[in-house]
Amino acid sequence: MHNSGIYEEEIAGKAYDGRLLKRFFAYVSPYRMSIVLVLLILPLVAACRLAQPWIIKLAIDGHITTGRLAGLETIALAFLGILLIESLLSFLEVFLLQSVGQRVMADMRAELFRHVMNLPVSWFDRTPTGSAVTRLTSDVEVLGEMFASGIITIIGDIMLLAGIVSIMIWMNPKLSMVTFSVLPILAYVAYSFRRRMRQSFREVRARLGRLNSFLAEAIGGISIIQIFNRQQDEERRFRELNASYRDANMPVIFWDASLYAMVEALSSIAVALIFWYGGGEILKGALTFGVLVAFIQYIEKFFAPVRDLSAKYSVMQGAMAALERIFSLLDTHKNSATTHRGVDEPESSFAATLSSPHLIEFRHVTFAYRGNENALEDFSISINVGERVALVGESGGGKTTITRLLTRLYEIDGGSILLNGTDIRSIPLNSLRRRIGIVLQDPCLFAGSIEYNICLGDEQAQSRVRQAAAIVGADRFIERMPKGYEEEVRERGNNFSVGEKQLISFARAVAFDPEILVLDEATASVDSASEQMIQLGIRGLMQNRTSLIVAHRLSTIQDADRIVVIHRAKKMEEGTHQELMRDEGLYFRLHQLQFSGSSP
């Protein structure tokens, strides 16, 4: 099963936590005037509902049983008026709650997305996409449901229940005691079912996240699944996860139905007790028929919110589990840059630190993605202003890791990386990354226009879109498009060839006018004709820029100022192409492998 065991932390914890609710209400606070209005409406709604059985009692005892029809129409009109007022107030209550709920959900989704966008890449390495998507969508949706039909309406239910108990005791204490004799049983049932349903709700949320993760993975890798004829195997895996999610819902359904049935049964028993005891009291002359009918009406209104308890409890349980997951995500530490310089700190304060010329230094850098397997070990290198330095070596040797550490996608474990003598951990991420342009082997395009994919919405970059496209030769195919730079880019750029997508990525790097350029196997996915065109653009792009080039094809970096050979996380050789070839070391053997096919 994909991603098995990764959701265990989402199942543990308390069902109800006052601290979670306190944090949640911080999001509600901006809309407190609407909440205050709802809280003012709730007692009015409760009063309307409490008045209805009392009016019926007056009609029966004062007019129907006595045969006096005079004044009965006034009571009927009063009853109708109270119904209309209740309907209007209920409309306002629901409208305000739903409106506030939608605003709160929008605010939470915005904060979650902003938080996720600033999490370190290592978090995404260990978190399935489906889990993150579930927290930003369905988990937040559950909170909206809790807010709109759970936590606030419970206040109204409590008011109604308290009012019913008070009026019934005032009307006839003995009949009230007989009627409420079922309440201890009801309380025990509700408490017992709550304990049994708690774990079930957490399990449902966890398995839903697992199902979403699998779907995201399967859809993202659909071409591989089809090429290797793994459809049936993936279908089997999906059936397992789907059945697991279904099975997790079964206990919830069982306890929900059981609680509803028990409440219905106790409600019927309470009505039967009213008939049994109240009927006897009527025969004795100690109770009027109107009081008996009012009691039946009140007991039905009493059990109505109790009958909905299972549904509201379901909402509250799901919401508590969702809050645990959401705040767990929000409590995940952002990139450790926040412990040094703020991510959003103004760049102006670091203009002097990062003013040209640039000099990059790696000093005894050590880094491991996991455990004790170092991706880089005691790595040191200096890159001078305007210098073009190429990194070559076997796959997995640590070349790409160097570029990731320079851009602080990951934080080093030991040593330091300096920019003009300043540790990059003391530089705001915005300021650091704006000065580094990077092109990856696998181009990443977003749904939108070609222009947007080049400038990514940045106003300064937008003014350089066409110039950037011309530098890398992307303008040739873009201008042939029916809509030119406004041509639509579909999901993941599926309507463009790999070469075209890479040219757009090159244009993006040029448009942001970086002072440091990082090319990570940037021409590996481009055909020979496109590569020749791109190389011309790259030469112009590299002018007056410090460049770091990760390359697999040695033919693309022979004119680099310096070549650094990385092998098994360590720097093994360093020099120009001619110097390394004369030394006949590791670089020489790699060159022989690629160009002559001989053994090293």
- CA pair distance 28, 188, nearest whole angstrom: 33
- 28-51 burial, b at 16+ Cβ within 10 Å, e below that, comes to beebeebbeebeebbebbbbbbbb
Q: How confident is the model at residue 337, as a pLDDT? A: 40
The predicted model scores a pTM of: 0.72
Q: Between 183-220 and 231-273, two packed helices, what is the crossing angle to 10 degrees?
A: 160
Mean pLDDT of the chain: 80
List the one residue out of 511, 512, 513, 509 whose CA is nearest residue 523: 509
Is the pLDDT score of 151 beyond 90? no
- CA pair distance 542, 390, nearest whole angstrom: 13
Is the pLDDT score of 343 beyond 50? no
Question: What length does the chain have?
Answer: 600
Domains along the chain?
18-334 (1.20.1560.10), 445-510 (no CATH)
Question: What's the token pair of residue 153?
Answer: 């309406």
Is the pLDDT score of 347 beyond 60? no
- CA pair distance 119, 336, nearest whole angstrom: 9
Average pLDDT over residues 462-489: 87
Provide the 10 A C-beta neighbour count for residue 462.
15
Task: Give helix then strand counts, H and E, for the chain.
Answer: 24, 12
What would the pLDDT profile of 248-305 be if each residue is shown by its tens digit?
888 878 877 887 788 888 888 888 888 888 888 888 878 888 888 888 888 888 888 7
What percent of the chain stands above pLDDT 70? Answer: 85
Average pLDDT over residues 484-513: 84
Q: pLDDT band for 540, please (50, 70, 90 cuts).
A: low
What would the pLDDT profile of 522-537 be if each residue is shown by its tens digit?
666 566 666 666 666 6
What would the pLDDT profile of 314-342 be if each residue is shown by its tens digit?
677 777 778 888 888 888 875 544 444 44
User: Is the CB of residue 563 less than 8 Å from the CB of residue 577?
Assistant: yes
Question: What's the token pair of residue 518?
Answer: 């990082």
Question: What's the token pair of residue 200?
Answer: 């079930």
Q: How confident is the model at residue 87, as a pLDDT? A: 93
Of the CA atoms within 13 Å of residue 528, those in its CB half-sphere come to 1
Is the pLDDT score of 378 beyond 80? yes
Average pLDDT over residues 384-392: 88
SS3 assignment, position 335: coil
150 vs 370, higher pLDDT: 370
What would the pLDDT profile of 205-255 be if each residue is shown by its tens digit?
678 778 877 887 787 777 778 877 778 888 888 999 899 888 888 887 887
- CA pair distance 16, 22, nearest whole angstrom: 11
Burial class (CB in 10 A: 0-12, 13-18, 19+), 443: buried
Q: How confident is the model at residue 334, as a pLDDT? A: 59
- 352-390 burial, b at 16+ Cβ within 10 Å, e below that, comes to eebeeebebbbbebebbeeeeebbbbebebebeebbbbb
Q: How confident is the model at residue 531, as a pLDDT? A: 63
User: Is the CB of residue 503 less than 8 Å from the CB of residue 477?
Assistant: yes
Beta bridge partners of 517: 437, 547
Query: What is the signed CA dihedral for 10, 12, 15, 21, rounded to 10 degrees?
Result: -60
